[in-house]
Amino acid sequence: MHINLRRAFVTCAVLTACAAVTAGAAVSSFYDLKTETLLGQPADLGTYRGKVTLVVNVASFCGYTPQYQGLEKLHRELEAKGFAVLGFPSNDFGEQEPGSAQEIAQFCKRTYDVTFPMFAKVVTVPGRQQSPVYTFLGASGHLPAWNFSKYLIGKDGRVIAFYPSDVTPESPELRSAIAKALASK
């Protein structure tokens, strides 16, 4: 029995490792991923290839929710230069995004006049239900510890930097990194 358990454990470990390598090999760029818009339409993140993006896990009932205003300002200010904010609602932290897709869309439009792209609600935390978007982002060594965590993605689809929730869209550190990414070839 001891040998069978050991064999089962080794087999499981090998299969898990193979699955991880296969998943990692399949996606080498954020822009290789596909997902859904907030309202359930297919969305190919490849449409942002060649642009700089800021990926944010958002929530409607969080102390950081007012960051929507700064994110929207940033998006409008830099969109013509090849930049986009991409919002991914998540209910992972404090259940602060309990609403339906329609409720989230209405809240964002009514309260902050959000025009940047919003995508389907995701799970950011590790586990079987984790979104492929956050599986990819987490390979950078960082996963959100709370809502409004930010990933700066370069034109090539690689993670340039991670910023925790308390780094605001107005932060000189974030703005400088965006400017540098936009200036790169």
pLDDT per residue over 73-94, tens digit each? Answer: 999 999 999 999 999 999 999 9
Is pLDDT at 23 greater than 80 in this prediction? no
Show contacts of 169-175: CB within 8 Å, 24+ apart. Answer: 169/67, 169/70, 169/71, 169/73, 169/74, 170/70, 174/54, 174/150, 175/74
11: exposed, middle or buried (Cβ count in 10 Å: 0-12, 13-18, 19+): exposed
Please give the CATH topology (third level) of the domain spanning 29-183: Glutaredoxin (3.40.30)
Q: Is the pLDDT of residue 3 over 50?
A: no
Count how many Cα atoms sit within 13 Å of the Cα of residue 84 in the half-sphere of its side chain. Answer: 18
Pseudo-torsion of CA 39, 84, 52, 182, nearest 10°? 170
Regarding predicted confidence, which is higher, 25 or 64? 64
The string of pLDDT tens digits covering residues 147-181 is: 999 999 999 999 999 999 999 999 999 999 999 99
Q: Catalogue the active-site residues.
A: 62
Q: What is the pLDDT of residue 185?
A: 85
Domain ranges in the chain are 29-183
pTM comes to: 0.86
